[in-house]
């Protein structure tokens, strides 16, 4: 009985002691920001991925690029390069770097010099040059760059002096600068790469990253959290947040709960948006994204190698119901991969929801009794698809009515992506968020032959006529001509239907009113560089 | 005591044998290549596979394969996780302490609340207070734990905002894992925010521990009540009454100890039950323990992790059982003479 009493007293004592530190605690939570993210990053190097989760976690936090998109009007603006010059024929582009840009100093690396042209060469040659000592580290796949045909565009990169870099292109390319301004074209540290080569730990460059960005990595535990500390010598602005933590919470409900209990300051992809708007302490941010959510067919696997089967499925699915249910009506129905706001958009009215038409097509294709198929549904929420599982269930019900049995498959996100790359799926609910405003950024990564071999084209569809139209569109800067080429390309996609476009959505996030600043942009990942907290 | 120990060891040996055979056979029962299921080497090259086949004796008969498997386990090699390609043994060591911490805390809570309440009910046999306590016990026992967990989050985290809803500690605090038991690690750490971290971690453990404790506590109430009632009906208690001792003296000096002995025996048995509840609760409260890890592995079809996790978890529960048997035997000499293990 006595010891029972003692335990209680000890516990009370601890509580009283800890109350002395409340002021101290306020300071800690004021200098720190916790962001509830929806999934774990696959790597810490954006060059290697196209997944938005990874880009959110790494691109704008750890790294910078030569140029970036201005947040006001999406025009291209200076970043690590203070200015650039393009020759009249469009084949030579020279970048002039800023001086005194410091790399991160961490427990695993201390830089001895600031950024110079060698780092830029190192970062791009790693992608372009197959004999580069880092090219095959982490698998040698650079999906974004391979999908835009970066190595075909760039002839060579040369260092003019320590702060001047010149890109020579094989031909003028109207989307080249936009590609360099995307979240994927980050600048790594050559000095760090050299040090890792000596230590024979090259793969570390993508696991323990060093960049010039506003935050440096402190620790990472997969599925649990990422901890960043402020980069004291950040070149662009004084960073207000001392400690930035990504709390990895894959469940929608858990993220919302953490916002309500103030365990997170900002949460990704919130559910119950109306309630957040009505809540006095929270703000719902939304940004119109350039994206597309789609159902992709693996065109190498029967029966999806048959155009009629793909068309039948398109007619069987009620997209309006999906938009109401999955996107709560907050999305634009997609008829082609491009959103309406793009200048190259061409409306397509071929797919009306019609079960009789679907059954007729199945008959013609030789499947009067239907067949069984898999739909792979993403386990995470993305802007273009807030709830793939629900969407899969709706599609399952629709297809069941025309005799197609659907089995829904889902894995943890990194496993899911790995298996997709292996082409194990027969159909998949996925999407694409654009990295820059140029329409090429939809057509090439999603459906070109180059992307089919590197993986961001999950349909494995490869059409030479379509590819040549994309090439022609890139070789000119005349908008009328480009529009014409892209319209023809969209007509081919509508006829062949390697993927069924479903919706273009908005990206949402919720935050407490204490957090000030702009985190979201129409392109690319979230950015905490200029965020403040009261 | 020697006979007792031998009996326990015998039981331990055969249970472990059955467990390991079950775990070994799982790799054949899961879809896919048994060797890959056993090792988790999904990216192994041909040469690596040859070495693996060699070390697991896959070309010999089943019995020898089983022996090779046991040898690997004794070397602490449970294979690699199929999804993250990390060592399963180190994964388990990272998550098991969190479960032990939560279970122990819940266990303490259940005993400290349940047993006294049960005694109080017995002492006030057939009075209002007895019926009230019994009704509470009945309700507590009937409520499903996942519902209670969600309900607790709704009330105490979301509506009242008193306690956090998930995790072990706020991510603001960086605590180096030394023992793996977070509350100890905080006290051992040299963080400047040590005391707030401790307070924060304590706040995090309260809700899940209470939810887990609810079911065992109600069982303890009934156990303690029955034990106390049977003790109060014995002749030696009647004798003390005849001697004219006060009721308080009778309870404190004679009844309590003897009733407690009867309770201890069953308390150990409840531990397995409690760990099962802890697993469900870990998922709800996002507690980084072995339960959540195992359920996550099941969800990801990570066969290697499922095998290793089940083996470790069941051995752990079994060891706890044997320890409580020993404690009971130490407290109650008559139990050592019994023929069969409880």
What distance in Å separates the CA atoms of residue B217 and residue A115, rounded to the nearest whole number?
Answer: 63
Q: How distant is the Cα of A47 from the closest Cα of chain B, in angstroms?
A: 21
Q: In chain B, positions 54-83, which contact chain A (CB-CB < 8 Å)?
A: 83
Helices B88-123 and B128-142, axial angle in degrees (round to 10):
160
Q: How distant is the Cα of A39 from the closest Cα of chain B, in angstroms?
A: 14
Give the pLDDT means over successive 10-residue stretches in chain A (534 positions): 48 47 67 90 89 89 91 82 90 93 93 94 93 89 84 91 94 87 92 93 90 92 88 90 91 88 90 86 86 92 91 92 87 87 80 89 91 90 85 94 92 83 90 83 88 82 92 84 91 92 89 90 84 88
Give the Cβ contact number of residue A337 at 10 Å. 24
> Is residue B158 within 8 angstroms of chain A, CB to CB?
yes
Per-residue DSSP letter, B80: B
Q: What Å distances lie between residue A233 and A101, A183, A208, CA to CA?
A: 8, 21, 19
> A59: closest CA among A400, A519, A510?
A519
- What size, in residues, is chain A? 534
- Res A2: pLDDT: 47
What distance in Å separates the CA atoms of residue A36 and residue A250, rounded to the nearest whole number?
Answer: 9
- Res A23: pLDDT: 54
- Res A175: pLDDT: 83
Q: How distant is the Cα of B157 from the closest Cα of chain A, in angstroms?
A: 6
> Would you call A263 and B301 a contact, using CB atoms and an 8 Å cutoff?
no
* Mean residue pLDDT across chain B: 83
Residues of chain A that touch chain B, judged by Cβ-Cβ distance less than 8 Å: 4, 14-15, 17-18, 20-21, 24-25, 28-29, 32, 34, 218-219, 222-225, 227, 243, 245, 247, 249, 254, 257-258, 260-263, 411-412, 414-415
Q: Which residue of A has its CA nearest to B171?
A: A245
3-state helix, strand, coil in chain A (%, to 5): 35, 20, 40
The beta-carbon neighbor of B199 closest among A4, A15, A218 is A15
SS3 of B280-309: the string is HHHHHCCCCCHHHHHHHHHHCCCHHHHHHH
Task: Locate the DSSP E strands across A343-459.
Answer: 372-377, 405-409, 427-433
Contact B78, B119 (CB under 8 A): no
Give the pLDDT means over successive 10-residue stretches in chain B (342 positions): 82 89 87 81 79 81 87 84 80 87 90 87 84 87 88 88 84 78 80 81 89 88 85 80 77 76 77 83 88 84 86 86 79 65 46
Give the Cβ contact number of residue A468 at 10 Å. 12
> Would you call A224 and B288 a contact, using CB atoms and an 8 Å cutoff?
yes
Contact A222, A40 (CB under 8 A): yes
Supply the DSSP string of B116-157, one letter for each residue.
HHHHHHHHTTTSHHHHHHHHHHHHHHHS-HHHHHHHHIIIII
Q: Is B32 helix (H, G, I), strand (E, B) or coil?
A: coil
Contact B214, B143 (CB under 8 A): yes
Per-residue DSSP letter, B252: I
Q: Sort out which chain A residues have CB atoms less than 8 A from B199's CB and list them.
A: 14-15, 18
The beta-carbon neighbor of B196 closest among A4, A21, A245 is A21
> B101: closest CA among B191, B169, B171?
B169
**Which token pair is B199?**
């307070």
Q: Is B279 helix (H, G, I), strand (E, B) or coil?
A: helix
Q: Sort out which chain B residues have CB atoms less than 8 A from A414's CB and list them.
A: 83
Contact A390, A325 (CB under 8 A): yes
- Res A119: pLDDT: 94
Q: How distant is the Cα of A413 from the closest Cα of chain B, in angstroms?
A: 10
Contact A53, A433 (CB under 8 A): no
> Would you call A258 and B166 a contact, using CB atoms and an 8 Å cutoff?
yes
């Amino acid at each position: 009985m006595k010891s029972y009493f003692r335990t209680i007293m000890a516990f009370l004592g601890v509580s009283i002691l800890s109350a002395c530190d409340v002021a101290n605690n306020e300071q800690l939570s004021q200098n720190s920001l916790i962001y509830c993210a929806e999934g774990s990053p696959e790597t810490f190097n954006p060059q290697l991925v196209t997944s938005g989760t990874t880009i959110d976690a790494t691109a704008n936090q750890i790294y910078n690029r030569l140029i970036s998109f201005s947040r006001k009007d999406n025009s291209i603006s200076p970043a690590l390069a203070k200015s650039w010059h393009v020759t009249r024929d469009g084949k030579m582009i020279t970048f002039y770097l800023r001086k005194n840009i410091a790399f991160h100093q961490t427990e695993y690396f201390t830089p001895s010099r600031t950024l110079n042209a060698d780092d830029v060469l190192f970062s791009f040659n790693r992608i372009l040059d197959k004999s580069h000592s880092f090219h095959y580290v982490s698998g040698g796949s650079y999906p974004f760059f391979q999908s835009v045909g970066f190595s075909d565009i760039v002839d060579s990169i040369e260092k003019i002096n320590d702060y001047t870099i010149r890109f020579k292109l094989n031909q003028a390319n109207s989307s080249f600068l936009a590609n360099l301004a995307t979240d994927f074209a980050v600048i790594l540290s050559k000095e760090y790469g050299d040090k890792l080569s000596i230590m024979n730990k090259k793969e570390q460059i993508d696991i323990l990253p060093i960049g010039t960005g506003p935050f440096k990595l402190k620790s990472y535990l997969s599925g649990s959290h990422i901890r960043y500390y402020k980069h004291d010598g950040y070149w662009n602005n004084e960073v207000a947040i001392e400690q930035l933590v990504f709390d990895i919470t894959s469940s929608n409900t858990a993220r919302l709960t953490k916002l309500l209990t103030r365990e997170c300051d900002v949460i990704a992809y919130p559910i119950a948006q109306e309630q957040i708007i009505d809540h006095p302490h929270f703000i719902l941010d939304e940004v119109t994204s350039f994206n597309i959510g789609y159902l992709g067919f693996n065109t190498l696997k029967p029966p999806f190698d048959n155009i009629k089967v793909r068309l039948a499925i398109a007619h069987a699915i009620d997209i309006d119901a999906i938009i109401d249910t999955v996107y709560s009506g907050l999305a634009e129905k997609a008829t082609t991969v491009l959103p309406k706001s793009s200048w190259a958009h061409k409306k397509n009215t071929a797919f009306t929801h019609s079960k009789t038409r679907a059954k007729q097509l199945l008959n013609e294709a030789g499947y009067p009794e239907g067949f069984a198929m898999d739909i792979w549904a993403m386990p995470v929420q993305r802007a273009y698809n807030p709830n793939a599982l629900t969407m899969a269930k709706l599609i399952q019900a629709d297809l069941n009515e025309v005799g197609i049995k659907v089995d829904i498959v889902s894995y943890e996100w990194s496993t899911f992506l790995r298996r997709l790359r292996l082409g194990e799926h027969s159909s998949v609910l996925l999407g694409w968020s654009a990295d820059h405003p140029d329409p090429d950024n939809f057509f090439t990564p999603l459906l070109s032959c180059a992307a089919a071999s590197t993986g961001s084209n999950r349909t494995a569809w490869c059409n030479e006529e379509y590819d040549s139209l994309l090439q022609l569109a890139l070789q000119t800067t005349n908008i009328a001509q480009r529009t014409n080429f892209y319209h023809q390309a969209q007509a081919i996609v509508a006829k062949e239907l390697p993927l069924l476009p479903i919706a273009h959505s908005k990206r949402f996030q919720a935050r407490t009113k204490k957090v000030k600043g702009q985190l979201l942009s129409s392109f690319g990942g979230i950015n905490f560089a200029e965020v403040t907290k009261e | 005591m020697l006979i007792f120990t031998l009996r326990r060891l015998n039981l331990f040996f055969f249970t472990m044998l059955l467990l390991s055979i079950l775990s070994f056979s799982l790799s054949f029962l899961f879809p896919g290549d048994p060797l890959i299921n056993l090792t988790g080497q999904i990216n192994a090259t041909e040469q690596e596979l040859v070495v693996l086949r060699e070390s697991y004796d896959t070309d010999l008969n089943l019995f020898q394969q089983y022996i090779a498997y046991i040898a690997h386990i004794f070397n602490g090699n449970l294979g690699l996780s199929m999804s993250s390609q990390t060592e399963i043994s180190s994964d388990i060591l990272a998550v098991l302490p969190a479960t032990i911490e939560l279970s122990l805390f819940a266990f303490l809570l259940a005993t400290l609340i349940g047993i006294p309440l049960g005694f109080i009910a017995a002492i006030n046999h057939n009075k209002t207070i007895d019926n009230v306590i019994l009704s509470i016990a009945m309700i507590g026992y009937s409520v499903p734990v996942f519902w209670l967990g969600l309900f607790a989050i709704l009330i105490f985290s979301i509506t009242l905002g008193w306690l956090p809803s998930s995790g072990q500690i706020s991510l603001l605090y960086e605590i180096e894992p030394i023992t793996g038991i977070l509350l100890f690690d905080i006290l051992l750490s040299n963080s400047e925010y040590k005391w707030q971290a401790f307070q924060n971690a304590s706040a995090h453990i309260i809700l899940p521990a209470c939810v887990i404790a609810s079911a065992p506590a109600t069982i303890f109430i009934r156990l303690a009540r029955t034990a106390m009632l049977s003790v109060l009906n014995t002749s030696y208690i009647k004798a003390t009454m005849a001697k004219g001792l006060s009721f308080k003296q009778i309870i404190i000096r004679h009844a309590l100890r003897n009733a407690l002995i009867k309770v201890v025996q069953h308390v150990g048995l409840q531990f397995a039950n409690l760990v099962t509840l802890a697993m469900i609760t870990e998922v709800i409260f996002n507690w980084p323990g072995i339960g959540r890890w195992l359920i996550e592995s099941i969800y990801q079809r990570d066969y290697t992790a499922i095998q290793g996790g089940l083996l470790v978890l069941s051995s752990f529960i079994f060891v706890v059982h044997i320890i409580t048997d020993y404690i009971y035997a130490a407290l109650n000499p008559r139990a050592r003479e019994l023929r069969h293990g409880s």
